[in-house]
Structures are given as C-alpha cells and as structure tokens.
Chains A and B, each alone.
Chain A
Amino acid sequence: MSETTVDAMTSVSLRTEDLTIRFGGHAAVNGVTCAFTAGELTVIVGPNGAGKTTYFNLISGQLRPSAGRIVKGDRDITALSASARAKSGIGRAFQLTNLFPQLSVLENVRLAVQAQHGLGPVILRSARSFSNLRDEAYSYLEATRLQAAAGLPVTALPHGDQRKLEIALLLALKPDIFMFDEPTAGMSVDEAPVILELIEEIRKDTEKTVLLVEHKMDVVRSLADRIIVLHNGELVADGNPDEVIALPLVRDIYLGMPAEDAV
C-alpha cells in the first residue's frame, strides 16, 4: 500500500474502491466506493435487483470484479480466493440457505469451527477425538437455540432453523467482518428476535464490522448505525438512518412500497 491514508480512515476495516462487475453489457454493481469502519453496523438497502447480493458476492469472493479494488485493513484482497478471504476474517451468511444438506446440524457447525482452527488437513486422527471442536460447535448451536436439533440432518430442519444454522456457521468462523444477507427472511415472529439479539451483540463489539442486507424497516431502524442505498448497481445514498430514510430519492426508489410490505 503506497497510498497515503487519511487519519480518519485508520479505523476503516474494509473498503471498496470503484467496485464494478459487468455481466455482458449490464453493470450489476457499478463503481461502488464505500468504506466500513469497525464498531459500526451498516445496513445496505435497495430494491430487488439493485445489486446488494452481488456486492456481497464481490466482497466475500464468490464473484470477481470487472474493475475496482477491495481492501481489508491495509491489505488489497481483490485477487484472493473466497477461501483465503474467509481465512482473512470476512465471514458471510448467505441469503438463500447454503448448507451441507446431508450432514448433521452439529457437523455443519463443526466444519466451520474446524476450518477456523485450520485442522482440515489432519488425516491420522478421528474427527470425533477433537472434543474441543465439538464443544465449541455446540456453543454456537446454543447461541442460535439449535442445540435440540444437533443430531438431525439439515434436510430435516424447518426453514427458519436452517437460517439460524446459517448464522451459527458464520459465528463459528469468528470473522471480524460479518456479512448478513437478509438474516431473518423466512423466520417466524418468534424466531427472528434470537437472531436480531445476536446481531445486536456483535454490533456492540467495537472491533467488529457488520454489513447487513435487510428489507424489514423495523429491523433497519433498530439496528442500523448507518444506511447505504444501492440502486441499479450504484451507490445513491449514504448516511445516518434518519437522514437516509428521509431522502426523497430513497422514498421514491425504495420506501415507495406500502409500509405493510416493508415490515
């Protein structure tokens, strides 16, 4: 990094510079420059197709940008693979449930814990002999209230529980950048608060950065320190929640939908 960094940017944990990805002629994410700071929870809003999930995919490495850079701390991670980014501390929970369906719930989390401990290549010891991994995995199941389902295969879980497991995997990776993609979508009214409390917990930690894609306005209002708005792949608004929500532009493109739908 030869660039001089401004004093105010010292706490920047992640930033994207002019980040762009084109599919054919269509720019799904177009020149997004944005910096995220530790201890801050940023909610990314925008209508369907605005490029929110694509932006996430670029940051966590599932997609490669056509142009632009991604910098974590003071390290350019644009060229890193998804696995290397996960190891560098970028953790991602997926919007569509994205788990290991035939494996048990506990095994799913244990895989994440094992990855975090770097024990994947061990071949001469039984996986079960690592009781510390098991205990740690179990603690994440407790945090997400999934302990009763530990032995079940993922396919036997109701949708809401699969979403919780998604979060448990993210916690197990112990990232310093947390990325949640509509974490409470498909959850019942009883289930969502568990996840929101967890996110609230993480937000209090001043060393963690949280990025959250969310549609539900009550969730946005209660959690956001800052809101950024994506529209047609471009960053169109950025600021504190009250200001952004009040912007006419934002009301037009996003909050124009009936309040009942948004909640």
Chain B
Amino acid sequence: MSDIAIDTTTDAARGRTGRLIVYAIIGVIGICLFLAPFLFPDVRSQEVAARICIFIVLVASYDLLIGYTGIVSFAHTMFFGLGAYGTAIALKLMGPGWDAILLGGALGLIVSLILAALVGLLSLRVKAIFFAMVTLAAASVMAVMASQFSDFTGGEDGIIYKVPKLFSPATKLLTDEDGKVLRIFGAKANGKMAAYYFVFFGSLVLYLIMLRIVASPLGTVLEAIRENEMRAEALGYRVVLYRTAIFCIAALIAAAAGILRAVWLKYTGPETSLSFAIMIDILLMVVIGGMGTMTGAIIGATLMSLAQFYLKDLMEVASEATAGIPLLPDLLAPDRWLLWLGVLFILLVYFFPAGIVGTLNKKGGHP
C-alpha cells in the first residue's frame, strides 16, 4: 500500500509539471490566435490562423466521439460539409446577407442533426466496426451527392459566393483622420479582420461549450461508456441513447464549424469541406494531440496545420542551406515534404504514445 502511495505521488508530481507545460503551450497558441491579425498580418498567415481556429473545433468535436466515448465515426466531414454547403448555397442563392447565413446555417445544422440521430439510433447498437462502416458509407453517399447535384453544389468545382459586406476586405472598420482604413500595429482594421474575429470568437464559443460538456455529468457518463459499456448499462445508463446524444452534439458542432469555414473562405467545395482527406487530417490531429483531452485538439490542430503550411517553406530553406553537401539537398527538396511530415508523425507517436497532451499529463485519474 505504501509503495503505491509513493508511486502515485511522484506520478502526480510529474503529471503536474506536464499539465503546466500543456497550459503554457495552450496559452501561447491562444494569444497568437487572438492577436493573429496584428502579429501575422500577411494573407497566408491569416489563412493558417483561421484554419487552425476552425480545425480546433472540428478536432475537439471529433474527440468527443473517439476519445471521450469510444465511438469511431468516419462521417465527421459529412456534418462539417453540411454546415458549409448549407451556408454556401444560401449565400449563393439569396445573396450576401446575414439572413442567408442564418437560414443556410440553420438548415445545415438541422439536416446534420436529423442525419446524426438516424445514423445513431439505427446503428449505434451494433458493434463498433459496423458503425464505422455505416458512417463511411453515409459520408461517401454525401460526397457523391455533392458532386452529382452540381446545379446546387457546383460539383467538383464548388461554389464561389459573396459574404456580408462587413467581412469584405474593402470595408473600413475604423478610419484615421484622412478617412483611410486605420492601421493598428501595421494591421488594417478592415473587413478581413472582422471576418477573422467572427471565426475566432465563433470557434471560441464552440470550444467553451465542449469544455462544458466534458466536465458535465453527461461527460462523465461518456467516459464511463468508453471504459466499460456493460457496467455503465448495469448502473442504469441507457448506453445507446447517450451514444446517440453525443453523436448528435458532435455533428452539430462540426456543422457549426462548417458555417465558419464557408463564411471565411467565400468558397465551398469538396476539397475544403467534404473530402476524405479532411477526415484523415482530423484523425491525425486527434492522435497527435491526445485522445480524450480537449486541450489535445488545440495542440494537434495547430501543429498539424503549421506543418502542412510551412514544412515546404522550411525545407526549401534547408535545401538551399545544404546545397553544397551531396544527397542532403535532394532529401530536403520541398517536393518531399509529405515524406518528412510522415517522419514527423512517426516520431511524435513514438515519443508521445498517448498524444502530446495525453503523454504530458500522464494523468493519475480525475480528482
């Protein structure tokens, strides 16, 4: 008994420093995202920052399923796409107004909810592998439909549309004495900034909702289902209903993230919001960050997005710097960035088997 006590105190101490590191990283990422328009005013960085915000929400909502409840679904991009396409189609048909965003977004959310409830109630009773297959089938059908109904969806080309005037780059949020758009630390206070903060605060609200969910009584039941489904049932929890409920909640949040994506990009197509490649990105981000940790979503989404956007640049620099040395420049050629992304992923999984946050926390259970 005393051995255990000693072990757990050192474990707890290690877990505490780990948690501090995690919170420090989260703090830095949070500040960078909050001040992104001022810290990184160039267009590409803005794209990366907005993508990170949206993917944090998407990854965290997926983690509600795979990490907290133990549900494997491949339909997450389907819900993401429903939110994005709903908003995009409405903006295209009704013109760039808030009413279009509200109506299109609401439709996307409602359709997501109905589909999630149907898929959940019909197939969450069956074994995990069958459920995964059903979601894969549903997602494929949705992708084919998006490509076939090209009158509505633009097919493979997607849809380009305008967003409300507030978000147009020409809009001046603040003006200086000359009537020009005001610059704050070199950042233009224009519509693009408004759009970014729409995405940022939208994502923040969704993320806070998820934090609330995992800390709630429902969140504990989800963890119990993941840990021991049969015992959760024996305690009186109706496992199928809880699973369906969280599947619906995660679908709604993914659809909401889709709305943010559609408004930010002013373009919606299979590649930006419906393709299976996004599903794989989400899976990798969850694994890198750490399953069953909300903070893991932040770290996973940030790290992966940064790598996807900047690894090529970094390798170009490295390739040039090693120009004199044989072989190395070839290995470091920017074209080989996927190879290095793979290497990076393998190293991460090797050194952080439970994901970055999961491994750093080495949690000794919940207090």
Contact = CB atoms under 8 A, between A and B. Distances in A.
B179 interface: no
Contacts of B236: 83-84, 86-87, 115-116, 173
B1 A158 contact: yes
B1 A126 contact: no
Given A114-B220, A123-B217, A127-B219, 9 more contacts: A81-B233, A83-B234, A83-B235, A120-B217, A122-B218, A126-B216, A152-B4, A153-B364, A173-B235
Contacts of A66: none
A106 B366 CA distance: 9
A83 B212 CA distance: 26
Given A98-B230, A100-B223, A101-B227, A81 B238 contact: yes
B21 to A, nearest CB: 21
A11 interface: no
A127 B238 contact: no
A48 interface: no
B235 A123 contact: no
B10 interface: no
A83 B238 contact: yes
Nearest to A151: B367
Interface in B218-259: 218-221, 223-224, 227-228, 230-239, 242, 245, 249
A99 B228 contact: yes
Nearest to B219: A127
A35 to B, nearest CB: 23
Contacts of A102: 223, 227, 365
A148 to B, nearest CB: 9
A85 B224 CA distance: 18
B237 A156 contact: no
B217 A152 contact: no
B365 A127 contact: no
Interface of A: 60-62, 81-84, 86-87, 92, 94, 98-107, 110-112, 114-116, 119-128, 130, 151-154, 156, 158, 169, 173
Contact of A156 (B4, B216, B228): B4
Interface in B344-367: 364-367
A120 B228 CA distance: 16
Contacts of A120: 217-218, 221, 237, 242
B227 A104 contact: no
A98 to B, nearest CB: 5
Contacts, number: 124
Given A86-B234, A156-B4, A158-B1, A124 B227 contact: no
B235 A86 contact: yes
A152 B216 contact: no
Nearest to B212: A124
A105 B228 CA distance: 14
A60 B234 contact: yes
Contact of A123 (B213, B232, B239, B366): B213
A125 B217 CA distance: 8
A227 to B, nearest CB: 26
A82 B237 CA distance: 9
Contacts of B1: 158
Contacts of B17: none
A98 B364 CA distance: 19
A96 to B, nearest CB: 11
B150 interface: no
Nearest to A126: B215
B366 A107 contact: yes
A111 B220 contact: yes
Contacts of B4: 152, 156, 158
B212 A123 contact: yes
B68 to A, nearest CB: 12
A82 B365 contact: no
Specify which of B4, B212, B217, B367 lies most central, judged by the most chain A CB atoms within 10 Å of its CB. B217
B239 A103 contact: no
20 contacts: A82-B233, A83-B235, A83-B236, A83-B239, A98-B234, A99-B228, A100-B232, A101-B228, A105-B365, A115-B235, A116-B236, A121-B245, A122-B218, A123-B212, A123-B213, A123-B249, A127-B216, A127-B220, A151-B365, A151-B367
Contact of A122 (B216, B231, B249, B365): B216
B148 interface: no
B237 A100 contact: no
Contacts of B224: 100, 103, 111
A83 B221 CA distance: 13
Among A83, A119, A151, which residue has the most Cβ atoms of chain B within 10 A?
A83
Nearest to A169: B235
A115 B352 CA distance: 35
Contact of A62 (B219, B234, B365): B234
B308 interface: no
